[in-house]
Structure 1
Amino acid sequence: MDILKVSDEELPLLIGTTDCAEGTAQLAQNGIRLIFVTLGANGVFYRFGDKTGRVAGAPCKVGDINGAGDTFFGAALSKLCKEELDTLTVDKLEGILAFANKAASITTSRHGAIPAMPTLEEIEK
């Protein structure tokens, strides 16, 4: 697997730690090249090889969190599938993650899961 997305609630279940840097380092030992830990309103932590960072969440008024993780990952993958991991830069990755955070924030500002997912046009506004 090249890309993994877990939430901050799932990380300790998989690895036994709530520390994103430590947990993702352990996961990366299995050959996973790009790891995201979603942090709810606090955005996302990422590990990309030996580089780590955080991208802030997009502010929103929460209506329902159902579907937020799926929206985030779907939005991120929609951009990542157009990139080569070998040439992906941190700046480009952080732009993709900001896009995915915005998509997830739109979903959480609505009710329902799939019906709450935004269109590309809504995210790009």
Structure 2
Amino acid sequence: MTENDISRVVIGLAIEVHKALGPGLLESTYKECLFYKINKHGLFVEKEKPMPVIFEEIKLDCGYRVDLLVEKKLIIELKSVESLSVIHLAQTLTYLKLGNYKLGLLINFNEVLLRNGIRRVINNL
């Protein structure tokens, strides 16, 4: 599956989670539920995947963690905030660059209509 194929599946699953739970819960709740749905769907998913920083020849564990990594290709960064900001987009793009990934989804579950809280983030390698 390509990154785009995976993202379509994940968006559909995120919408299912949002329809069941609605907005207003903690980010960790949505993360656990989406992790469960992705895994149940048969995709390989990692939760709280460490994202080290490589500086020159050293690898630094600075505590960065990607919320979800699907099929070792798609980063998912989850939020439950009033509105997404530029810093949320920057964070997702930084994770893409650190891991050398092409595509990420930034999803804000604190929206009445989840579609309004989904942003595709592309790393122009």
Sort the TM-score into its range (normalised by shorter chain). under 0.3
Give the number of the structure whose residues are more often helix, by fraction. 1
TM-score normalised by L of structure 1:
0.27
